[in-house]
Amino acid sequence: MINQLIQKIKNKEATVGVIGLGYVGLPLVLEFGKAGFPVIGFDIDQTKVDRLSQGESYIKHIPSKSIEELLARGTQEFTTDFSKVSKMDCILICVPTPLDKNRTPDMTYIVSTARQISPHMRKGQIIILESTTYPGTTWGILATELESNSSLKAGEDFYLAYSPEREDPNNPNYSTATIPKVIGADSEKELEAANELYKAIVSKTVPVSNTMTAEATKLMENIFRSVNIALVNEMKIILDKMGIDVWEVIEAASTKPFGYMPFYPGPGLGGHCIPIDPFYLTWKAREYEVPTRFIELAGEVNVSMPQYVVEKISKALNSSGKSAKGSKILVLGVAYKKDVDDDRESTSYKIMEMLANLGAEIEFNDPYIPIVGPKRDYPDFVGKKGVSLDKIGSFDITVILTDHSQYDYEDIVNRSNIVVDTRNACSGIKSPKIIKA
């Protein structure tokens, strides 16, 4: 049965289903469509599906033209109808894996997806999990749910693999097709099937020995980043006390051609990976009674950065004879990184909440996010609309939290009363108004 699947993949006759049409799933739909596979994108959000079905992209860095070209091929569609899973040969699951309020992995989306698709599964399909998670999830959670809600047996009637997403939205140098793809499966044939599938859309595949290794690879990548970002965040605080510009230090250190890799400080960690992934491993490590002091310390440093920024803002206001209470503060950028419309886990909201709790009047501007969408952790900001930069001078202080390229920073500095810059966005601009944080 699996040999037939492998041959269908090689002939590009296999129908691919992608579940979850977000920043990971939608690019996969586009790539499989371009490669010539029949492909269906599944999502529970009818509004999202309707927009895509009309050829309209809802993700800023993915042009609507790409969606229109996909649909024009005639063998692709978007749907909320999970009964169509029965027509799929390959099913890729790209759903969120957040943390709950206790920083415990939340498997709700994986479990609910498994329960939605299992009644419609048939023999001979391969299911590949792409969601970031802890080692053991593919077989311990996904396979268990699929088996318990169907009459099929994993590894015999249907096949499993894990391939961690490596998306970096709006990165001009790397895309889904050019980023090497790690693939893990627990049998040679399952690995061969998954590898053949991804070979059709990416420039390089990296097969590993099993699903747990692939799951751990994703955690390794982002824990590496988290720890190093924590290091430069701590260095920023230390060097600031010494009157040394950490950005200049990093730039100088980066000239060393070996043994150094630059990481950059910020107001905290945002996005769907780095703030979350380390805690997946620390949670799983408790099962093995292994301490994760280094990882947890990095997490503590990064989580503390919003407080550092708020203190810098308060001191800047004090220097002009004002307190945070009653001050008008303009935040520039609520996206988690520059030039994207993605505000998942953005520390901007935490900083805004902390300032509001001090009695400040908070407004924001973000060219990519004109209105705050649904937020589990910050319901008070949901529906809040961004303001124009026309009246920037009416605010007591301007705080740069996301360094969007669209901003004219020299103009912002000229028209602001005080600027707190957490991203070194005002580098090269000489003004006593600028305070680095």
The position carrying tokens 């799951």 is: 215
Cα gap 417→396, rounded to integer Å:
6
* 408: its two tokens: 């004219």
- Residue 273: active-site member: yes
Cα gap 196→410, rounded to integer Å:
51
Cα gap 294→275, rounded to integer Å:
15
Taking phi first (over 0 means left), then psi (-120 to 50 degrees means alpha), and beta for anything else, what does residue 299 get? alpha
Residues 90, 94, 273, 426: which is the catalytic one?
273
DSSP for 41-61, written as a single string = EE-S-HHHHHHHHTT---STT
Strand partners, 76: 39
Asked whether the beta carbons of 400 and 426 are under 8 A apart, the reply is yes
DSSP for 179-219, written as a single string = S-EEEE-SSHHHHHHHHHHHHTTSS-EEEESSHHHHHHHHH
Cα gap 89→80, rounded to integer Å:
18
* Non-local CB neighbours of 3 within 8 Å, separated by 6+ positions: 189
Cα gap 117→101, rounded to integer Å:
28
Strand partners, 128: 92, 161
Beta strands in 65-219 (DSSP E): 76-79, 90-93, 126-129, 159-162, 181-184, 205-208
Catalytically active residues, by annotation = 273
